[in-house]
Amino acid sequence: MKISTQAIPQSSLLELISPSGLLSIRGGSAEKVDSIYIRSAVGYFNNLRVPAAVLTSIIMKEMFTLQSTPTASMKKWDVEHGVAHSKRWRILRYSYLLLMVLAFSLETFTIFVATQVLTELATASALRMIPLATSELNLSLLDQEKVSGGFFAKMAAKTVPQSMVDFLIANFEFEYATCRLYFVTGILCFTFATALRVRYALRKYSDLSMSGMCCLLAVATGMLTYTNSRTITYGGYVNLLKRQLQLSGRFLLSHVRSGPLSVITAILAFLTVVYAILGSVSPEFAYFELDDVDEK
């Protein structure tokens, strides 16, 4: 009796075949597939590292632009409108600088982590990429189902990865989530900061400054919308942020006994947020003293 498979969708047929069966049909092996994923992962992290480096150089050049003395053409207008002693404009200048600092930090960390992963991938072998059982890792602080921390995260024993994303999550989830989140967040911070800069640079022309700022904010929200539609693995930007924070916390906890740097890192991150809030509530800053300007 001959059984026809024409009515069965191709996707259903593939689901009936195990990953090892698919590898046999394609004439490959798990080691060859890992090599393909390694090459794809190298390209992925390079595509993040290079733009991050370019953006970092731009941020370094423009970071302190709004902290310099205003030009002579704007001094009279600033004096008439009290810009130097305006809390609103001070908060804008503070926010610009802090957003640029945050963008610089995120992109720098992206470059560092991507470089470390590229080194791991360059020296990785197929045997090292085989997932290990959690009992072999002796990391009781992590999930029993998934272990994710350090530069070589391991999955519990499962099937062969079906895509490069599966491969990265199985072996480098902390690095994958960190680079993806930090790169996007750094670009968003840079875009928001540029919007504030446009608002301040064209402050004499309110409508034009608002138009330029809204244009850049539209670009930022558009990028965020696109990110939410493409970050399918974690279900959007917010879930990616939650996962990365979870992985970062576990990474720091798993290295507490290795030295004080994990604790110091957590304390400094906490102080960064606290001082940013305190500085935004009661900023004290002026570009120049009004007594030194005699504009009539």
Q: Distances from the Cα of 215 to the Cαs of 134, 183, 212, 287, in angstroms?
A: 49, 21, 5, 28
Q: Is residue 292 part of a domain?
A: no
**Average pLDDT value for the chain:** 76
Q: Which residues of 244-272 are buried (b: 16+ CB within 10 A; e: fewer)?
A: beebbebbbbbeeeeeeebeeeeeeeeee
Residue 265 in any domain: the answer is yes
Residues with Cβ within 8 Å of 134's Cβ and at least 6 positions away in sequence, in order, are 142, 143, 144, 145, 147, 154, 156
Domain span at residue 70 reads 26-283
pTM comes to 0.73
Asked whether the CA dihedral 266, 103, 173, 31 is positive or negative, the reply is negative
**Confidence band of 196 (pLDDT split at 50, 70, 90):** very high
In a domain, 1, yes or no: no
Residue 13, classed as helix, strand or coil, is helix
| Residue 9 forms part of a structural domain | no
Give the residue-averaged pLDDT of 82-103.
Answer: 83
Q: Would you say residue 206 has pLDDT above 70?
A: yes
At residue 130, does pLDDT exceed 50?
A: no
Residue 261 forms part of a structural domain: yes
Query: Over 80: is that where the pLDDT of 55 sits?
Result: yes
Name the token pair of 89.
């404009």
What SS3 state is found at 195?
helix
294 located within any domain: no
Distance CA(36)–CA(72), nearest Å, equals: 60
